[in-house]
Amino acid sequence: GAGVSQSPSNKVTEKGKDVELRCDPISGHTALYWYRQSLGQGLEFLIYFQGNSAPDKSGLPSDRFSAERTGGSVSTLTIQRTQQEDSAVYLCASSLGGVGRYSYNSPLHFGNGTRLTVT
């Protein structure tokens, strides 16, 4: 079936502009995650949504970053007043999620990311 879909695949923006990145998770997956990967660096956790629970925002680097998930499916990551250090690949993942033991036994499946370049 279809995997996690992210759009756009590439985005170039000027410093100071706002950007929105979109993620379409795998159908039926209730958990959704955002990560970012700067050039030559590891994957950095940003935010996690599980059903109707309050999101885990502990990885967001500043208040310029926000994310929402509408209808328990599609998610949008918004970066306001972009800076050059925001340049990175932004990755979205989804999993079956749920609660308790089952959630930890469900792998995350990643999209191929959005490459953001801030000039």
Partner 1 sequence: DAKTTQPTSMDCAEGRAANLPCNHSTISGNEYVYWYRQIHSQGPQYIIHGLKNNETNEMASLIITEDRKSSTLILPHATLRDTAVYYCIVRVRAYNQGGKLIFGQGTELSVKP
Smallest distance from partner 1 to CB 101, Å: 8
- Tokens encoding 29: 């997956």
* Residues in CB range of 40: below 8 A, 6 or more apart: none
Smallest distance from partner 1 to CB 28, Å: 16
Smallest distance from partner 1 to CB 21, Å: 14
Sketch the per residue contact string, 21 through 50, with partner 1: x for CB under 8 A, - otherwise: ----------x-x-x------xxxx--x-x
Cα(13)–Cα(42) distance, integer angstroms:
23
Q: Which has the closest alpha carbon to 76: 4, 7, 17?
A: 7
Positions in the binding site for partner 1 (CB under 8 A): 4, 31, 33, 35, 42-45, 48, 50, 53, 56, 58, 91, 93, 95, 97, 101, 103-113
